[in-house]
């Protein structure tokens, strides 16, 4: 597969997922927080039944970066931890699988807060 084709697939799939979220924001009374939560839950369900990993294989970062990908990573981590540790893996698998991403988000948020200048809404 050429690099251009991989980029095009990632752009199209990621764009479609984001466009769907924008449609929900613009045309429903759902809050952004509920839409984001729904994206993670849908990612967990699709990852749990094995459909979302196929989309990640097809679209790469276009499918793994949005919140659906986070949910899919949680499901994968739980599945692997349950296979390795049994029932205790249900509680620890998601944390283990997503710890690096969550830590990076916290560090970059802290840096942005230290560098940025907050403004009051008017």
60-89: pLDDT as tens digits: 888 887 788 888 888 888 888 999 988 888
**How far apart (Å, rounded) are the C-alpha atoms in residues 42 and 27?**
20
Q: Are 36 and 17 in contact (CB under 8 A)?
A: no
Closest CA relative to residue 55, chosen from 20, 14, 92? 14
- Predicted confidence at residue 7, as pLDDT, reads 92
- Predicted confidence at residue 1, as pLDDT, reads 58
pTM flag (> 0.85): no
- Predicted confidence at residue 38, as pLDDT, reads 92
pLDDT 10s digits, 6-61: 999 999 999 999 999 999 999 999 998 999 899 999 988 988 888 988 998 999 88
User: How many Cβ atoms from other residues are within 10 Å of residue 65's Cβ?
Assistant: 16
pLDDT 10s digits, 99-119: 888 898 899 999 998 998 877
């Amino acid at each position: 597969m050429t690099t251009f084709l991989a980029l095009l697939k990632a752009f199209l799939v990621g764009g479609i997922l984001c466009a769907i979220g924008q449609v929900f924001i613009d045309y429903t009374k759902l809050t952004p927080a509920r839409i984001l939560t729904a994206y993670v839950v849908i990612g967990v369900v699709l990852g749990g039944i094995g459909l979302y990993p196929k989309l990640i294989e097809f679209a790469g970062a276009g499918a793994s970066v949005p919140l659906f990908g986070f949910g899919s990573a949680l499901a994968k981590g739980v599945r692997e931890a349950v296979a390795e540790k049994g029932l205790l893996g249900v509680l620890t698998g998601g944390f283990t699988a997503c710890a690096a991403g969550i830590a990076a988000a916290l560090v970059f948020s802290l840096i942005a807060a230290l560098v940025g200048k907050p403004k009051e809404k008017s």
